[in-house]
Amino acid sequence: MHVLRGGRVADVDGTRAADVAIADGEIVAVGDPAAVDAALEGDDTATDATEPTETDVSGRVIAPGLIDAHVHLMMDGRPDVATATADSDYTASYRAARNLRAAAEAGVTAVRDLGARGTLAIDASEAVADGVLVGPRVVACGRNVIMTGGHGNWFGREADGPAEVRKAAREQLKAGADVLKCMATGGVLTEGAVTGAPELTPAELAAFTDAAAPTDTPTAAHAHGEAGIKNAVEAGITSVEHGTFMDREAAEMMAERGTYWVPTASALHGIVDHGTEAGIPEEAVAKAEDAAEHFDDAWDHALDAGVPIAMGTDAGTPFNYFGDIPAELSLMVEYGLSPADALEAATVNAADLLGLDGVGRVTEGYRPDLVVLDADPNADAGAWRDPEAVFLGGDRVV
């Protein structure tokens, strides 16, 4: 039993003074000191050997841990991702272990890996669950399903035609994927790919979502251009990743169907803010600069239409580090969300998208994935930087 005393609690239900008691991987009491004491006294498992420990968090704020709906555990933020193709799978795995640790220390308590080599991210999920690695819980897609020569072809599973796409999707499910990810358009970081051009066809996307349907597995589509976004939404995809060139019609379709948008502002900023001087290939910088011009409009359309938003960073892409994941919330605020909306996107919305129950709020019965902050994240999106303490399932890691 561990009690956090004297602070405030902030989540999607607001910010209020409350103590929080944690025991056996669960939040067992949230409330005024007397209510928490009563819960402790009623705890018949408590013995002298399990005397509650207390941490004074007065002046501080206890918030749910952040959930990042789009990362690449095997990548390390290097300027030219193509240079990582020469690394062995083992090297990529060690990098993933380091990234998981960095994310946990930044207050991230769950991540969704949307594309790795082989079963690297699926195995990372198991390693975290078994306590082999310290890190946020991992939800993983296995390999990306892409057209031959499409975006990310150095690690994606290439497939052409509905039958092959269906098989490629089923291979990921067989390998243990929790979510399926495909490329509906080109991308910024693949040489020769046209950022917004459609890649998988409507018929291929339909086969992809159909393969996920029997097990209710969520699906994610990388999509920059509006045609690719609409193709993905019409195929019933669960989330559109990036959505950089989203137009009004695409936004309205997404809002109507409840399709999540994962904007990954950090990815675009990592490239545009560093540029060719930092070693990012010229073509990638030019494509990112073009995309950045349209990204403001995408936000306007999404906010006007009421598209549900889940926080995601694309961590691992150039200058987009796992330790900086909380900076995405400040970027989302620059694009028009309130700090409270950004908190919602990074907690309850992302938990819903990832299919994680019992996380994203500081409430009784929930998993103690918690961060202790110096300021109220419902009022200040910068509050997420440098957490005072981080609890993963009740275990303190910072």
**Residues of the shown chain interacting with Zn ion in the complex, contacts defined by CB under 5 A:** 314
Q: Are strands 219-223 and 180-183 parallel, antiparallel or unpaired?
A: parallel
Report the C-alpha gap between 359 and 349 in whole angstroms: 10
Least gap, CB of 211 to Zn ion (angstroms): 20
Least gap, CB of 69 to Zn ion (angstroms): 10
Least gap, CB of 121 to Zn ion (angstroms): 12
Least gap, CB of 189 to Zn ion (angstroms): 9
Which residues are 14's β-sheet partners? 11
The dihedral built from the CA positions of residue 42, 47, 50 and 51, taken in this order, carries a sign that is: positive
Closest CA to 389 of 65, 163, 133: 65
Least gap, CB of 141 to Zn ion (angstroms): 10
Residue whose CB is less far from Zn ion, 116 or 168: 116
Report the C-alpha gap between 73 and 359 in whole angstroms: 21
Residue whose CB is less far from Zn ion, 350 or 370: 350
Closest CA to 238 of 256, 217, 211, 214: 217
Read off the DSSP letter of residue 212: H
Report the C-alpha gap between 376 and 342 in whole angstroms: 13
Structure tokens at 325: 């994941």
Q: Are strands 61-64 and 370-373 parallel, antiparallel or unpaired?
A: antiparallel
Residue whose CB is less far from Zn ion, 116 or 127: 116
Which H or E run contains 356? none
Report the C-alpha gap between 98 and 353 in whole angstroms: 25
Least gap, CB of 97 to Zn ion (angstroms): 19
Closest CA to 65 of 345, 312, 346: 346
Residue whose CB is less far from Zn ion, 19 or 314: 314
Report the C-alpha gap between 175 and 145 in whole angstroms: 14
Residue whose CB is less far from Zn ion, 260 or 366: 260
Least gap, CB of 282 to Zn ion (angstroms): 21
Residue whose CB is less far from Zn ion, 316 or 339: 316
Least gap, CB of 357 to Zn ion (angstroms): 25
Residue whose CB is less far from Zn ion, 81 or 250: 81
Residue whose CB is less far from Zn ion, 314 or 328: 314
Distance in angstroms between the alpha carbons of the first and the last residue of the chain? 18
Return the residue matching tokens 């907690």.
Answer: 347
Asked if 316 contacts 73 with a C-beta cutoff of 8 angstroms, the reply is yes
Least gap, CB of 328 to Zn ion (angstroms): 13
Residue whose CB is less far from Zn ion, 8 or 112: 112
Residue type, 189: L
Read off the DSSP letter of residue 70: E
Nearest residue to Zn ion on Cβ basis: 314
